[in-house]
Amino acid sequence: MDLDFIQELFTTFGTVSVRRLFGGAGIYAEGILIGAVFRDEIYLKADAETSARFDAEGCGTFEYATKAGTRAIASFRKLPERLYDDADELADWARQALGVARRKNAVSQRSAAKQKPARNAPATKSATKSRKKR
């Protein structure tokens, strides 16, 4: 799928950039991945809050073949065909995809912050013992 076509398709939504992503391309808004293009099909980010909308349109998840069988990625759902001709509604779906991506990024950042130890945290007993042995 032509990169200029993708950018033109999302014009009503706003500026998007398209970059290589695995075997396809990623669609980014504000530097955040909101969609992808694989095998000339556009997929948008989805979550539990937005999946019903895709289901109502009969739009499945992104799937790919592995040696063990087919694998589905529920966080990417196929763009409804009718949206290729409806810029205003496509913009609405793209805004929802951006919301999904922002929520996911916020959760990821909170999880990372919880796992990252404080810089000046006191050393644990095991860390102190290993320093004394040296």
Which domains does the chain carry? 3-116 (3.30.1460.30)
Average pLDDT over residues 115-133: 55
The mean-pLDDT minimum among 10-19, 29-38, 115-124 falls in 115-124
Q: Is the pLDDT of residue 128 over 60?
A: no
What are the percentages of helix, strand and coil residues in the chain, rounded to 5? 40, 30, 30
40 Cβ contact list (under 8 Å, min separation 6): 1
Stated pTM of the model: 0.76
Q: Is the pLDDT of residue 133 over 70?
A: no
> Cβ distance 38 to 65 under 8 Å?
no
Percent of the chain with pLDDT strictly greater than 70: 79
- The token duo for 96 is 């929802």
In this predicted model, what pLDDT tens digit does every residue of 65-91 receive, in sequence order? 889 888 888 899 999 999 999 999 999
What is the rounded (10 degree) CA torsion for 101, 107, 109, 115?
-150
> Cβ distance 42 to 6 under 8 Å?
yes
